[in-house]
Structures are given as C-alpha cells and as structure tokens.
Structure 1
Amino acid sequence: MMKKQIMLGMAMAALGLGMAGCSSSSSNKTVNVGILQIVQHGSLDAARQGFKTELNKEIKAKHSDWKVNYNYQNAQGDQANLNTMSQQVSQKNPKLILAIATPAAQAVAKKTKTTPIMTTAVTDLKGAGLVKSNEKPGTNVSGTSDVAPVSKQLKLLKSMTKGDKPLGIMYNSSEENSVLQVGIAKKYAAAHDIKLKLVSVTSTNDVQSALSTLSGKISGLYLPTDNLMASSMKIIGKEAQSAKLPVVTGSIEMAEDGGTATYGINYKDLGKQTAKMAAKVILDNKKPQDMAVETSDSLHLYVNKDRATHLGLKANDIKEP
C-alpha cells in the first residue's frame, strides 16, 4: 500500500512538473511579425520604428513576458527583391505582416490570402486593389492610409510664394498614390485659379534634369508623398535652395530632409496608429476584413527654420493653412 502511495505521489509530481513546463512555455510566448518595406527613406523608416515601438508596448501591457520577433525585409526599391522578399516573409508563418508602402502591400497580398496584413504609408488601399472598400475591407488586409491634405498643402505653398508664376509639382508617374494626389492638386488649383506646371519622373536619375526644366518658371515647388521624391529630398532640397524656391512636401520627414514646410502627417505617429490596429489582431483575434481603414489621427504644421530663413521667410509668419 505504502509503495503504491509513493508511486502515485511520484506520478503526480511528474504530472505537476509537466504541467508547469507547459504553463511556462505558453506564458513565455514569442509573436512572429513580418515586415516588408519597399525602400529606405525617412518617412517609411519612421513608420516602421513607430509601429515596432507601439506594438511592443501594446503587447507588453497585456502580456509582460511575451516577446515580439520581427523579420524585417527591405527591397531597396527593386521589384525583383520585392517579389522574393514577400515570398520569404509570408513563408515564415508570421502571426501578422506589416507592409510599408503600396508596392510592398501589393506584393505581400499576392503571396497570402490568409495571414493578416496591416499596411501603412499606403495612400489608397481600394485603388491599389488591396481592399474591397475602406469601410469594410473584406480581405486579409487593412491598416492606415497616408493620404495627405493636398489642398491645404497647396494653400500653404501659395502663401509662401510671390509673383504670378505657376506652382510646380514634381512626382513619380509610376506611383499610383502620387498620381492620385496630383489629381487632387489639379482640382484644387482649378477651383482657386492657381496655375500649375507639372513634371513627372520615374527614377532618381531623372530628378535633377526635371528640376532644371522648372528652374525660373515656377514660384514654388510641391512634392506629394511619393517614395521616389522622398528618396531624392537631399538633391531636391539643394537645388531648390540654390534657386530660392520654397518647397512644400507631402510629409514632415520630407520637409526635414530638404523642404521648407508642410502641414501633414508624422509617419512615426502613423506607424503607432497602425500598431494599435495590429495589436487588436494579435491580442483580440480581430480580423482585418472587418477593420475599417484608418487615416491619420492628427496633422501637424512643420517649418524647416534653416530653409525658411535662407529664403528670407520668418518661420513664425508661416501659419497653419
């Protein structure tokens, strides 16, 4: 009898240890998140950093012992890289994928129809074929749109210019989001009797020559939230400074890198907003197909004081449009 009791006690102890081991492995959970970014530049980097910071915070608040493992891939603007990396990211069986910018989102969405995908820095999810509607996506994709307040940004640029020369707009004609924003700019300009001079480019090699075609013909330059423009801000800023041209950009990060001012989105904040949506998927089992696409919670006036001073503008005189 005693022997049976001892053996029963040992069995129970072993079971207890086994259960403790299961509990420990369940509590020390690792959440795998894939990230695919189209290219490296200030705005997209800020969105990624904001996303990671906020997602870590959201998860730790609910499960202090959970860890988040990020598989980050950057295509550096190369379509072949994008195709390969989207495959790699989706094959790792992540809990969720973050796609940064339209081409990255489209590439990942082609690779998986089941893994939840959150996007950020995508201007028009419906237009890009990522969702059925912004209100009810109906696919495994949702996230935040970086649609800029184009009309207010043009109004800001107009307030910083003199004379009757047209406002210039430079954009990448192969980026859907840029074409959309230029369309909005045209409508606003037509309604407010503002003349525009447009020039499109499709590679960084074309930027300098395109700027030279605008030299002396415009009173100010507008740049939409465009990956190519963002990647070329150092060049654009230098040329615009030499030509004494005020530059209003689609994003704050672009203005920091060479623009004069903007009234727009802070991409780090947009990334944080996206992370809050992602946390609902990871922690509360929400489905992207039922989560409405969100736009930026807040807009900010940013003035690059050094650039403004160089143009003879007082930073304090540049007001929110």
Structure 2
Amino acid sequence: MVVDLATDERAARYAGHFPARQLHVLPADTMRGRSPVALARTALALGTGLVKGLALVRRLKPAAIIGFGGYPTVPPLLAGTLSGRPTLIHEANGVMGRANRLLAPRVTAIALGYPDAVAGDAALKAKAHHTGNPVRPAVQAAARLPFELPAPDGEFRLLVFGGSQGARIMSEIVPPAVEKLPPELRARLRITQQCRPEDIADVRAVYDRHGVRAELAPFFDDLPARMALAHLVVARSGASTVAELSVIGRPSVLVPLPGALDQDQLVNATSLARAGGALLMPQAEFTPAHFAAELARLMNEPAALEAMARTARDTGRADADERLADLVLRIAKIDV
C-alpha cells in the first residue's frame, strides 16, 4: 500500500517528514474576508484546485481519499466525492471546522476526535465514528508511566506551555501568580515553562527573586516525557494537547485561545473539564490571583489531582491511530 499527499503550497513547506510516495500541490485558499475581491480570490483558488484534483484522482485512482481539515483538503476531497471514490474526513476538535463542515455531507465517513462534534445532525451522526485523535509514539511511550502523587511537603512539578500563540500569556500570568503563593508552597515548586525568547529574562528574574527552581526554554523537544513527570500541566487546549494530556493521563489547567471563530479550543477544554479531567480557566479569568488560588488548592489536595489524572486517562484513546487506520481500510474495502 502506498500513500500520496495532496496539499497546498503553504502546507507543502512542512511536509518534508511525511512518508508519502509523492507530494502533489493543489491550489487552495481560506476565507480571508467577505469583500467581493476576497471571495472571488478564494473561489478561484478552490476552483482551480478542484480541476487539478479531478485530474489527479483520474490518474492515481486512489482506493480512498482522507482529509484532516483546513482548506487544503477541500479540492482533493471534493474531487474524490465527484469521482465516486471512498472519502473520509477526520475532525480533531470538539466543534467541526469550516472546511470539514463543507465536506461532511458529501464524504463517505467522518472520524471524530470528540464524539459530540456532530451532535444534533442525524445524517452526519449516522456516518460518524469516534476514533479519537492519533498521538505520537512518544506520547504512547509516556502514557506507560503512572501518575506519581506529590508528597505532602515534597516537590511539586508544574509544567507550563502555550505554543506559538500562548507562551506570552503564560509568561504574563504564571510568574506573578507564583509570587502570590505562600512561601512554603513556593519552596515546593519546580517549574518547567515554555517562554518566548524575549520573555525568558523577565520570567527568570521573578523566579530567582523567590528562589523558585525553574527550567525555561522557547521549545522542549521532549514535551510528552515532561508531561508524564508533571503533577500539574498548564496549557492551551488545542486538539493535540488535549489528546496527549488525556492519553498520558495528567491533570491540567486549560486556558483556551480566545477569539477563535469556531471556539474550538473552548469546546475541547470544556469537554475534558466537564468529565473532571481538567480545570477550565478562560483567559479572561486567567489572572494571577485566580490562578494562584487554584494552584494552592491543588498543591494541597493531592487526591483531587489523582482524580483528575484518572479521569483524563479514562477519556483518552491511545489506540486512535489504529481505530482511524481500520476505518480507512474499511471504507476503502482493503483486506489486510
């Protein structure tokens, strides 16, 4: 079995490690506004991509065409549906994105990271399958480490990261929150925090002033292992982050990225928080005083952390990759 990758020019720059036989670049564009010029530009790109996608499908005759959201998936998936090929989309978030909403009524099957992403639509629900979100091998390896409760007066490991759009708010809120903790709690903390390069000096100065042990860096290439060692994680709530926290089974404070059109991070965080596996803290409520109060409470309530970790793990699907692969083979009618 061979896999080809079809995407647009922007995403193709990041496709170097994808194990595809061949990379195919198709024109695509997102909605950048509602002016006639913007709409015409998007329609032209998608139309051109569709024409090229139809030619590609006729040439390759794929057993199935799989999309993972975003406007680069629209031309090849539409080409697949118009050509009568089996098609599948995977929706990672708890709310369906615009591209997947466009494609969902037309595809053969829908794989879901969250079971309620198509709730209320009987037609979509009938062809939906809750596979979960596939995670990296490093996450599956980290999931083998059991959650270690912090000792009552022992070290408390706090992991803080925010990704490219979230590290600044973490640098603005977490250090002053730590300053508000009682000295005996600050003395227990060991912090690992992702910071933007320009923020590291200021964040370090706060922690050094109070004798807080901290490791600060713009990026950690072993984040799953650090998640597994953490007693508490503070993070944004993108689909991958929530999936990894759930599979590894670690308690978290989730701060959704505000302002997103579909509020996908809020829906992701709400799903895990309602189950009891995380604490949802919208950015408007993510203040030094509020976070300090919740951090102090959790540091003093190891049983609450243990319950959150257990619930998070119960919601995770470590075998999501196998579930998704099985679904692809099923719609493609491939026997292995």
Asked if Structure 1 and Structure 2 have the same fold, meaning a TM-score greater than 0.5 normalized by the shorter chain, the answer is: no
Which one has the largest radius of gyration? Answer: 1
Structure with more contact order per residue of length (Cα contacts < 8 Å, sep ≥ 6)? 1
Hey, which of these two has a bigger chunk of strand by percent? 1
